[in-house]
Amino acid sequence: MMKIILKNIWILCLSLALFTSCDDDSDLAQISSTASTGVANFSTTTLVLDKDDKEADALTINFNEPELGVASGKSYQLLFDLVGGDFSGAEVKSIEENTTFTFKTEEVNQILINLGAEPGVATEIQVKIETILSSDTSMFSDVSTLSITPYAAELDLSSKWGLVGDATINGWNGPDMPFYQTTDKSLDAGTFVAYVTLTDGEIKIRADNAWDTNYGGSDGVLEADGSNIVVTAGTYKIVFNENDLTYSIELYSWGVVGSATTNGWDGPDMPFTYNPLFDNWVAEVTLVDGEIKIRKNNDWKVNFGDLELDGILDTESENNIAVSAGDYSITFNPVTLEYSIK
């Protein structure tokens, strides 16, 4: 009788072990060997992008939901690369549980520009679908291709206005440190922005690197031929409105901080540089395995991470961005909070 009881206990334990192992990893093994992965279908396979239609719908991609054979939570990503690439430097668009996604003209164009496509030239693009089953398990579809002609995405944000003075790089003789037009729609018409590093000294705002039209003043108010504006050493954002003759000066810089950076979580941060061609900020950095965030003024009052890893930053303090060791170009727009790491 005891032998029968022991035998039954052993059979029960074995059954539980088999059930548990199947519930954990064997389902995923079964999925990877039997599942049917879809393929990306396009609303058009030849697309010429027009900058004047940048807000218009340009491309819809859809695919059938993969047949996994077993119930499994999943999300999707679209991976874009130039034909001939291996997707190691792919542009990635997370689309969660949707199997249809429509891109605006400017979204498609930015993907092409980020991949290194030449404006005005038809470029063959390959797309595949990543089905994410867990944090470490994905399935990939076959590759689909289409031809897209991008437009030049560079902006002409130049202006006639500049910053001059003994606090600037070139002193009172210039050439002046430039003010740029801004794409920030929250600012009033006639507003220009300069991102500058100054020393202790004085500055004025003038037009065309000449003294015919120049402004000075104090307390945020300018007047023609007004007094010099006193500043202390620092990196600043200076906002100037030519219509109401007002100005503001604030300490302003962006940097990359984290365990993957040169100076760790305490900083000083690895700096971003303003890029007026795209009205964004760029950091060329060498990182180690670890995590990063983007923050303002080497301080934690304003900092961004990315929980969803969807290319849009958020302000949750725990949402560090994991990176592997390598040389990277990081771009960041503090208005839209879009960013990329390549």
Nearest-10 Cα torsion for 216, 218, 222, 224 = -40
Rounded Cα–Cα distance for residues 334 and 342 (Å): 18
pLDDT band at 16; cut points 50, 70, 90:
very low
Looking at residue 107, its amino acid is E
Of 154 and 46, more confident:
46
Does the predicted TM-score (pTM) go above 0.75?
no
Burial grade of 282 (CB within 10 A; 0-12, 13-18, 19 or more): middle
Rounded Cα–Cα distance for residues 135 and 285 (Å): 27
Rounded Cα–Cα distance for residues 319 and 322 (Å): 9
pLDDT of residue 184: 86
Of 96 and 149, more confident:
149
pLDDT in tens, 296-310: 999 999 999 998 777
Looking at residue 58, its amino acid is A
pLDDT of residue 68: 64
Highest mean predicted confidence (pLDDT) among 47-56, 62-71, 185-194, 213-222: 213-222
pLDDT band at 76; cut points 50, 70, 90:
confident
Contact 179, 163 (CB under 8 A): yes
Q: Which domains does the chain have, with CATH numbers?
A: 41-149 (2.60.40.10), 161-251 (2.60.40.3610), 254-341 (2.60.40)
pLDDT of residue 280: 93
| Among 4-13, 165-174, 256-265, 312-321, the least confident range | 4-13
Q: Is 314 helix (H, G, I), strand (E, B) or coil?
A: strand
Radius of gyration of the chain (CA): 27
pLDDT of residue 218: 96
Q: Is 86 helix (H, G, I), strand (E, B) or coil?
A: coil
pLDDT of residue 64: 84
φ, ψ dihedrals at 242, nearest 5°:
-75, -15
pLDDT in tens, 109-118: 989 988 989 8
